[in-house]
Amino acid sequence: MVDPITGFSRLSKEEKIEWLSKTYLAGNKEAKKILRQYWNPDSSLQKLHEEFTENTLSNYYLPFGLAPNFLINDRLYAIPMAIEESSVIAAASKAAKFWGKRGGFKAEVLGTQKIGQVHFIYTGKDHKLQEFFNITKPKLLEAVAPLTRNMEKRGGGVVNIELRDKTELLSGYYQLHCTFETRDSMGANFINSCLERFAETFQAEAKAYKAFDASEKDIEIVMSILSNYVPDCIVRAEVSCPVDQLEDHGMTGEDFASKFVRALKIAKTEPYRAVTHNKGIMNGIDAVVLATGNDFRAVEAGIHAYASKEGKYTSLSHADVRNGMFRFWMEIPLALGTVGGLTGLHPLSKIALEILQKPSAEDLMKIVAVTGLAQNFAAVKSLITTGIQQGHMKMHLMNILNQLEATPAEKEVLVKHFKTHNVSHSAVEEQLEKLRN
C-alpha cells in the first residue's frame, strides 16, 4: 500500500525521480537512467522545457519529420510533422507528389470567428433579463476595452455578445454567447480574460439594476470559458482532376473514382468507419498542429464535434464525380495561432513556422487542412487498391526489429528480405530467429 505524498511539487527534479523510483519503479533498475537520458544536455534548453508544465521529470520525444512538395494555392511548401506513427509522413508525401502533378491543392478560409461563453443562472422574468442585457451590453464592451486595445490594433477584438435563453435545457440557464476575432493568435487567454471581465461586470450591474427585484438581482455566474467548438472558424481544402488522370494499380480512372466515392459514402453513413476515416485525417492534422506548437487536443475536440453537427458522427471529407471531373474536399473548424503560447517558446515550433515561410494564422489553417486531406486521400487510395497493411507494415518493420532487439547487421539483412515479402510481427520474428540460427 502506497501512502500519499505531500509537497511533491516542492521537491527538486532529482528528489522527484528518487521518490518515483523507490515507490513505483523499485523493480526497474534502468528507470532512473532512462529518465535522465532524455534530459537535454543544454541546461538552459532543459529548463525551458521544464517550465512548460509542472512536476517535470524528463522529456518525451516525438520524431520531427518533413513532408515536402506540397503545392497549395500555387505555392510550394515543405510541411513539418511531429508524429510517431509509421507511414504517416510517407503517405502525406506520396499524396503531395500525386496531386502536385494534377494542379495541387486549393484551400481557402471561410471564417475565423471564435466563441466564448458566460454561463449563468437567472430565475426571474425573461423579458426583464432581455431589457437588462440590452442596457448593459455597451458597459460590457467598455469593461474589456483595456484588454481588447492591442488586439483591435491588429484587426481583432470582440465581434458580438448575445443573450441566449437555454432554460428549455436546464432550469434558469442562460448564456452570454460571445464572438471574437483573435487574428494570428489562438487567443485562449485573451478570450477567457474578456469573459471573466464580462461576468464580473454583468453580475455587478445586475445588483444595481433598479428594475430587478431582490431575487432577480442575484444572478449566479456558473463559469466563464472559451469553447473549442468553432463552427465559424472554418477552412476548406480540395483537389480535383479529370477522372482519366486517376488510373492507378491497373485500375482505370473511372474504376478508381467509383471505388473512392463509394468508400467515402460508407464513411458518411457508417459511424464505425467514420471514426477511423476521420482518425486518418487527424494523423496529418495533429502532426502539423504539434510541430507548430498549437493545441492538438482543442483541435481534435472541435473537429470531432463538427463531424457530429447533424446529430450523427460522419465523414469529414467528401468526394464526387461530375462532368468527368473527380473532386475531393473537406471543410473543418481550425482555431490556430502563429504568435503567442508555445509557438513562440518551443525552439522546434519556431523552426517549424519558419519552414512554413512564417505563415499567418489563416495560412496555417490552410496548410493544416491540406495535410489532413492529403493523409485521407493516401489512406483511402491504399484501402481501395493494395490494402492498408502493405505500405504501413513495411514502414513499421523497423519498429518491430527494434522491439526484437535486432543488431544493425541483422536489420540490414531483414530490411532487404522484406522488400519482397509481406511484413507481420510473426514473420519478422521467424526470419530473425532463422538468421540467428
Position 345 in a domain: yes
pLDDT at 25: 95
Q: Are residues 287 and 221 in the same domain?
A: no
Q: Could you give the 3-state DSSP secondary structure of residue 424?
A: coil
pLDDT at 250: 85
Q: Are residues 164 and 73 in the same domain?
A: no
Q: Are residues 272 and 133 in the same domain?
A: no
* Number of domains the chain is built from: 4
pLDDT at 435: 84
Position 60 in a domain: no
Q: Are residues 378 and 254 in the same domain?
A: yes
Position 2 in a domain: no
Q: Model confidence over 213-235: pLDDT tens digits?
A: 999 999 999 999 999 999 999 99
Position 242 in a domain: yes
Nearest to 381 by CA among 107, 81, 97, 78: 97
Q: Which residue, 197, 226, 255, sits at the end of a domain?
A: 226
Q: Which residue, 196, 226, 256, sits at the end of a domain?
A: 226
Q: Are residues 291 and 145 in the same domain?
A: no
Cell numbers standing for residue 246? 486517376
Position 336 in a domain: yes
Report the DSSP beta bridge partners of residue 79. 67
Burial 318-343 (b: 16+ CB within 10 A, else e): bbebeeeebebbbbbbbbbbbbbbbb
Q: What is the CATH number of the domain that holds 371?
A: 3.90.770.10
Is pTM beyond 0.95? Reply is no
Q: Are residues 323 and 363 in the same domain?
A: yes
Question: Annotated active-site positions, please?
Answer: 85, 279, 295, 392
Q: Are residues 220 and 369 in the same domain?
A: no
pLDDT at 389: 57
Q: Are residues 199 and 339 in the same domain?
A: no
Which of 387 and 251 is assigned the larger pLDDT?
251
Q: Which residue, 226, 252, 280, sits at the end of a domain?
A: 226
8 Å CB contact between 139 and 205 = yes
pLDDT at 267: 98
Q: Are residues 401 and 348 in the same domain?
A: no
Q: Which residues contact 6 (CB under 8 A, 6 or more apart)?
A: none
Position 298 in a domain: yes
Nearest to 140 by CA among 121, 118, 120, 173: 118
Position 308 in a domain: yes
- Which whole number is the average pLDDT over 136-155? 96
Q: Are residues 238 and 343 in the same domain?
A: yes
Q: Are residues 266 and 343 in the same domain?
A: yes
Confidence of residue 391 (pLDDT cuts 50, 70, 90): low
Whole-angstrom distance, CA of residue 369 vs CA of residue 235? 7
What is the arrangement of strands in the sheet containing 317-322, beginning at the earlier edge strand? 106-109, 234-242, 325-333, 317-322
Q: Is the pLDDT of residue 253 over 90?
A: yes
Position 297 in a domain: yes
Q: Are residues 245 and 209 in the same domain?
A: no
β strands within 73-153, DSSP E: 75-82, 106-109, 114-121
Q: Model confidence over 338-376: pLDDT tens digits?
A: 998 888 899 999 999 999 999 999 999 999 999 999 999
The residue range of the domain holding 291 is 67-108+234-386
